[in-house]
Structure 1
């Protein structure tokens, strides 16, 4: 089982490459439209919130809003659940960071020179020079800001990627072949068992966080959840303002499907204010 994440600059042919790759490999495909539908319909995230944060640089006041925390939590949850379905392509949305430590994941970056990207944008959308330049710079600014805000990482950092493809001279077909060659040569497809186990652990952790923070809304600072899905053992770490809240976290966790044992390593600090 393989997960391919594709990060792309506007005008780099990244979207076209991803669609051709899906056609050739028959992988499941998660892009803006399908992810938005999942967030809105399954997780109940308001459409306005989805549009507000989707690959955009949030405004100053968003730094103090709890909306951003729920948004990125459910984005990650939806992406992890999607990946559990089997071979998949994840387009944008910080996939290279969300799956960075997961076995069987291949992270691709598609780029091109600015001048060539401008020409492609002008041709595709019938824009003049000024409008094409505005669109390109706005897109780069938003995507870089999205990654900086939610993942505290540099979108252009090549350390995040296994393969960076410059389409200055390469066609869509040539780029797709490079990715397929990388998929075969790296042995990504053979890491299925390790990937499935790790994904199961992550998904169980996400479910516990959802129950504690976003459903029961228990005030917890620095919540960390370590889950072993195979055994059903979940370890809780963090701080609460009362012993009752700490006990409530354990009780809520016990009710999450798949949890068989809870190791509570939380502590409470009465003088602590605010929640995370």
Structure 2
């Protein structure tokens, strides 16, 4: 089987990241998340702190939580556009290395021409996501609800700016999973089975 790529978009608090990581472990394939930001920093010969600062997208009023939400920001400055351009090269290079899962960062859009691609979006009802924020991130209910709303808004702006459509748009997704129905382990197992079947593993 040739290299395949699974991109995972997600609503904040849907636990898409740990689900994706668990799937990668189950299938013994590469998992790319913060590695993307670190590689962008290296290629731009810029401190990770500088890239992170520019990623925060202060214009969306996300403050100190911004790094949790969108590691590659949502602004339209020259530097942010440069970061996105370098990110595209990084993702392409990662895809060439072998089968992998990529989380966020418009990977569904950037990988759109990859021959073996599965685009996944993980979502969950707001109340369930708020509960996850309390249970897994140690937030209060009020803060968790605000984060879910703010992060989703910022991700939508970022994705719409660079990809031209909202994250999770059904027209551009191959599979959408409500993680509240299956939990982290159940969703990971279900997704792993779909990937095995889809790519003949």
Report the TM range for the smaller structure's normalisation: 0.7 to 0.9
Q: Of 170, 173, 178, which aligns to 2:190?
A: 178
Contact 1:104 1:188 survives alignment (8 Å): no
- The answer for the alignment partner of 1:79 in structure 2 is 91
Normalised to the residue count of structure 2, the TM-score between the two structures is 0.83
Contact 1:94 1:147 survives alignment (8 Å): yes
1:124 alignment partner, SS class: helix
In 1, Cα distance between the equivalents of 2:90 and 2:193? 28
Gaps spanning 5+ residues in structure 1: where? Answer: 190-276
Q: Which structure has the highest helix share of the two?
A: 2
Superposition deviation, residue 18 in structure 1: 0.9
Superposition deviation, residue 74 in structure 1: 0.3
Superposition deviation, residue 22 in structure 1: 1.4
Normalised to the residue count of structure 1, the TM-score between the two structures is 0.62
Moved over 6 A (4+): none
Contact 2:134 2:140 survives alignment (8 Å): yes
- 1:1-276 mapped onto 2 (5 Å cutoff): 1-31=3-33, 33-47=34-48, 48-53=50-55, 54-58=71-75, 62=76, 65-187=77-199
> Residue 122 and residue 43 in structure 1: after superposition, are their counterparts in 2 closer, same or farther (change >3 A)?
same
Gaps spanning 5+ residues in structure 2: where? Answer: 56-70
Alpha-carbon RMSD:
1.8
> Residue 188 and residue 71 in structure 1: after superposition, are their counterparts in 2 closer, same or farther (change >3 A)?
farther
Structure possessing the higher radius of gyration over alpha carbons: 1
Q: Return 74-83 or 168-177, whichever deviates more.
A: 168-177
Q: Which structure has the highest strand share of the two?
A: 1
